[in-house]
Amino acid sequence: MRTYLLPLPLLLVTACPAPEGCLGGADDCVVPSPCKAVAYTCESGTSEVFVVTDPAQVPGGVGALGALGDVVLGNDKVVAVIEALDHPHYLGPTGGNLVDLSNRGANDDDLRQLLQATGLLPQDVAHYDTLQILDDGDIKAVQVTGTLDNRPDVRVATRYEIRPCEPGIRVRTELIHEGVDPMSVFVGDGFYFGDRGQIPFAPAVGAGFTHPAFGLSDVGDAIVTTPYMVAAAHEQPGASYGEVACDREGVSGFHSDIISAIGTPTRVLLPRDAEVYERFLAVAPGAAVSGVSDIALELRKQLWDEPFVTLTGRIVQEAGDVGSLGAPVRAQVVISEGAASDDPSTRTPWTHVIPAADGTFSARVPPDRTYTLEVEAFGQLVTSDDVKVGGGDATAADLTVPAVGELVVDGTVDGVTDHLLVFVDPTTADEADALMGTFLGHFASCAPLLGNPHGGSPACNRVLVDGPTSLVVPPGTYELYAAAGPFTTLAHTTVTVTAGASTSATLAVETLPLQPEGTLSGDFHVHGAPSFDSSLGGEDRVRAWLAARVDVIASTEHDVVGDYSAALGALDASSRLAVIEGTETTGHILFPLFSDSSYPRVIGHFNFWPVKYDPTDSLRGAPWDELVEPGALMDRLVGHGWDEGNGVAQLNHPYDGFQFGRDFGWVDAIDLDGTKPLPKSYDGSGASLFLRTPPGAAHANSDFDAEEVMNGSANSVYQPYRAIWFYLLNQGVLRAGTANSDSHTLTESVIGFPRNLVWADTSVADFDVGLFDASVRDGRMIGTNGPVLSVSLDDDTSAAHGPSLTPFQPDTSGALSIVVRAAPWIPVEEVRVVVNGRVVRTLRDELAHPASEDDLDGLDRLNMTLPLADLLPDSGDAWIVVEAGAPLVDSADLDCNGWPDTSDNNGDGHIDWTDVDALTDKPSVECLTDVGPLTAPPLPKRGELGYAYSVVVPGGAPMSYTNPLVLDLNGDGKFEVTP
């Protein structure tokens, strides 16, 4: 028996093949070239790989972030940039990921990030620690190796490869499990779209642009398997991307406007096994899916011998139509397998086209099927037709879109042609319903939809004008509204647009004497295309600033510093507004923030300015902002050149929910409880982080200068943010309150609504950022969505004091002076005097109201004094804030954390669990886990006073507040509020 067994070990050894690529773990391993069945040829094809030494070597585009030290991998068709290992972005703990991918010569990079991951948690992402350039004749490659983040027992190796003539790059990732416990593994690519940009398209039954909503707990239910995935850049210039697996016939993954993850099917991976994924990342120009899905079908023919045919067609405009084709909103076609009579949920969308100006289009589709062509115009399905496709190329019957009319809009400010944001509004609710449209089922609903809500002008139902501006509009009667910020008149006119005809309208706006002398208006939270969640490019972004008549803009892009110098120069805007470069630190990578927490978190978002733009830097001048507490983050900012003495650190949207498990607000992240005092030392709880100085840091977590009290044009978050601010003031944490739009696009929040009015001894023409920021830090400002508040109080030397965080001893026998003024189209219904967080006086009857929205004699709403002694508490110091605008909706704190969270949503007169959307049964506990919503003040209907305001400030109600007057009543030099 022994002799029979002897050869067995030899057999085992010789029968075992040598590990391929980096599976064996050798230090000098080379990941093999992927996608061997793919071959492209052309004349004069080239390929290159090099380390970036000059910013000019990096292709441009809204998403371009390549920097010195990164690696360019390119050929005659495409250019890719792979991050240097010490250049992490967004979700990556290290570099080594794809950060730019564009068409050669087009400067159309629209890729925020593509990174390898095996799941959704931080430890599922690849952490690369070696990068190698491989140059093998025409085949150029970059190989990165490492492990999963904080999991040294799971190795990862990725090869990015380029060859001449190919419309993309080949990628192979190997994941090797050297650990001891089985794991679930999915090897794939995370496409970080960011939101408001690329829309993923999956050719699966009922899918296409439609994807199920999911959360972290049910993402598995959203996974689909498709032949490929593509994502189009609906804003131009922008590249479109697609991914086709080379080693299997489909890709599995989930999709959303924020992130898509596709790769291998999820499977159990036992120790000492591996998973490998080969794919082709295709790149194409253009705003339609078809550019890259055509490539995907070509690849599948090469890989799996799947045939395709070309389907052509034409969109036809009705006779006399004044519009032209070529823009997505005018006409775009989704081509789905199935018949028009089929339930859409049973059809399989295969591609999407945008007709050329002459209406023609073509796309590749699988043969021998029936297809439905659905035409969307202005966000609505306007026509559809079926076409039978056989084994050869096919042509569909012409599809006719309804005729449109032309609207030429012009605007003047103080009689001179100038920038305006004009809103187009249907005249009745029924017309609005009839016109309501969405862009391929995504983003905001608009009536009418004149352009991609998150793109350039026209967007949603609004258009930037600077001189006569032509736009195509569905026939109908519309109201046009425009105001150049809250300190002008509001122009309003009615137009009727007829199919096939052109109509003109001019809106004339006049500046009103409302902005107080010695103030500059400022919006300190503004995004544009450099942010991962904005697609609004440079010139339109700056035009929106000009249209808003804001004096000072803090340009605060997520994680990077943006540069608008070219747009400012082209629009000659530098003399009209001061732009301070800054950044919004945005936590992406979850980490154990405090020991009492059972799950990892991020620290929310903070704005810092000024932060200088650096085109050579991987984050354009911003520091890497992950995995640290706010105090340590401030250290990084200082180390990166932030001028703390002349700058501002602002806590953004302190309490604002979360996305994919990442809190937007610091107060949320640390579960701060407003019913308890701030802990003075760290005890493992989140709340005790607030005042803490992180070990080794020079800054405390509370060393920010300002907190956003108003964020966004809509007002629903004002009450909780206000409550947090009041709580901090009562705790002796004196911080300025700011009011910012947080505008990302032309839709959603409007620039300058709200804005800050800052008393500062500087001007736009001769702007001194140090002086300006000193006033911001000291709280010498008000925040407003419309009303202008001026308050003052004399001190004991009879000197007048306005809002400021600097305590003073008032003349207690004196009076608080309150002046409220507003444009006649901005209703002001009440004024509230808040002392130490309590509303001690509400003024309604005392307010004057304009006779109409055009009543220029109706600017003055209130001018009165209140005896100070009637307002003060019985003991201790005090602070006073005055508010003006719409009444606050009744609210309650149902989860008992001190912040209002729920309004009387069922209108029964009291607020309880029945007002909570998420609850159907009475909870057994008093303090609820599910709460909300907390709604904004009700919006007026058409024809009601204030409706015009709600058109130009969508979702908003007039609201303003002063920063506090801080009163050291007992004159002891300290400020202490008695609880």
Partner 1 sequence: MITLLALLATAHAADPCEAASDGFIDGPTQAWFTDGALGAPRRTCTRSEFGVGAGGRITIDRPNFYGYVVGGLNLDGSYQIIPGVEVFGRLEAVRYDLAVASLSASAIGLGHLSVGAAFAESPVRDFTIGSHVKVVLPTATGLYHYGRPYGGELAVSTVWQAHPWVRLHDSFTVTVLAGSGVTAVPSIGGNVNLGLEFRPIPQFGIVADVDAGFLRTAPVDVVSVGGGLRFGDGKRFGFEVGARTPLAGRERANIVADLRGSVRFGPVAKP
Yes or no: say if 659 and 669 are a contact pair by the CB < 8 Å rule.
no
- Report, in Å, the least distance between residue 254 CB and partner 1: 9
Location of structure tokens 């990628």: 171
Cα torsion for 187, 193, 195, 199, to the nearest 10°?
A: -90
Sheet with 800-801: strands ordered across: 800-801, 788-794, 815-821, 860-867
- Report, in Å, the least distance between residue 683 CB and partner 1: 20
Strand 469-473 with 476-483, pairing: unpaired
Shorter beta-carbon distance to partner 1: residue 219 or 733: 219
- Report, in Å, the least distance between residue 186 CB and partner 1: 5
Round to whole Å and give the CA distance between 953 and 750: 7
Round to whole Å and give the CA distance between 425 and 422: 10
Shorter beta-carbon distance to partner 1: residue 20 or 136: 20
Phi, psi of 539 (to 5 degrees): -65, -45
- Report, in Å, the least distance between residue 715 CB and partner 1: 36
Yes or no: say if 547 and 484 are a contact pair by the CB < 8 Å rule.
yes
Percent of the chain that is helix, strand, coil (3-state, to 5): 10, 35, 50
Cα 235 to Cα 223, 285, 287, 534: the distances in Å are 27, 11, 6, 11
- Report, in Å, the least distance between residue 596 CB and partner 1: 12
Shorter beta-carbon distance to partner 1: residue 259 or 872: 259
Phi, psi of 618 (to 5 degrees): -65, -25
String of DSSP letters for 759-811: E-S--STT--HHHHHHHHHTT-EEEESS-EEEEEEEBTTS-EE-SEEEEE-B-
Shorter beta-carbon distance to partner 1: residue 186 or 727: 186
Sign of CA dihedral 117, 556, 699, 881: negative
Closest by Cα among 139, 200, 144 to 170: 139
Residues that bind partner 1 in the complex, under the rule CB under 8 A: 12, 16-17, 19, 23-25, 118-121, 123-124, 155, 176-178, 180-186, 216, 219-220, 223, 266-276, 598-599
- Report, in Å, the least distance between residue 121 CB and partner 1: 5
Yes or no: say if 479 and 494 are a contact pair by the CB < 8 Å rule.
yes
Which pair of tokens denotes residue 630? 């706010």
Shorter beta-carbon distance to partner 1: residue 133 or 223: 223
Alpha-helical runs (H) found in 519-577: 538-548, 565-570
Shorter beta-carbon distance to partner 1: residue 258 or 866: 258
Shorter beta-carbon distance to partner 1: residue 16 or 56: 16
- Report, in Å, the least distance between residue 724 CB and partner 1: 30
Strands (E), 246-308: 251-254, 259-263, 267-269, 274-284
Shorter beta-carbon distance to partner 1: residue 37 or 270: 270
Shorter beta-carbon distance to partner 1: residue 30 or 866: 30
Query: HEC string of 655-683?
Result: CCCEECCEECCHHHHCCCCCCCCCCCCCC
Shorter beta-carbon distance to partner 1: residue 41 or 598: 598
Query: HEC string of 884-951?
Result: EECCCCCEECCCCCCCCCEECCCCCCCCCHHHCCCCCCCCCCCCCCCCCCCCCCCCCCCCCCCHHHHH
Shorter beta-carbon distance to partner 1: residue 11 or 51: 11
Q: Give the end-to-end CA distance of the chain in Å, rounded to a whole number.
A: 90
- Report, in Å, the least distance between residue 562 CB and partner 1: 32
Round to whole Å and give the CA distance between 978 and 874: 9
Q: Which residues contact 682 (CB under 8 A, 6 or more apart)?
A: 688, 689, 692
Cα 693 to Cα 102, 629, 634, 780, 795: the distances in Å are 43, 9, 11, 27, 35
Yes or no: say if 311 and 364 are a contact pair by the CB < 8 Å rule.
yes
- Report, in Å, the least distance between residue 120 CB and partner 1: 4
- Report, in Å, the least distance between residue 340 CB and partner 1: 36
Closest by Cα among 661, 633, 589, 582 to 88: 589
- One-letter amino acid for residue 3 of the chain: T
Round to whole Å and give the CA distance between 686 and 665: 13
- Report, in Å, the least distance between residue 23 CB and partner 1: 4
- One-letter amino acid for residue 459 of the chain: A
- Report, in Å, the least distance between residue 176 CB and partner 1: 5
Shorter beta-carbon distance to partner 1: residue 267 or 442: 267
- Report, in Å, the least distance between residue 266 CB and partner 1: 4
Q: Which residues contact 956 (CB under 8 A, 6 or more apart)?
A: 713, 714, 715, 753, 785, 936, 949, 950
Phi-psi region of 430 (alpha: psi -120 to 50; beta: other; left: phi over 0): alpha
Shorter beta-carbon distance to partner 1: residue 245 or 365: 245
- Report, in Å, the least distance between residue 175 CB and partner 1: 10
Please list the residues that pair with 533 across neighbouring strands.
none
Shorter beta-carbon distance to partner 1: residue 12 or 416: 12
Shorter beta-carbon distance to partner 1: residue 185 or 948: 185
- Report, in Å, the least distance between residue 664 CB and partner 1: 21
Angle at 548 between CA 544 and CA 551, to 5 degrees: 110
- Report, in Å, the least distance between residue 626 CB and partner 1: 19
- Report, in Å, the least distance between residue 261 CB and partner 1: 8
Shorter beta-carbon distance to partner 1: residue 25 or 645: 25
Round to whole Å and give the CA distance between 84 and 68: 9
- Report, in Å, the least distance between residue 243 CB and partner 1: 17
Shorter beta-carbon distance to partner 1: residue 10 or 765: 10
Shorter beta-carbon distance to partner 1: residue 588 or 821: 588
Which pair of tokens denotes residue 711? 């964020």
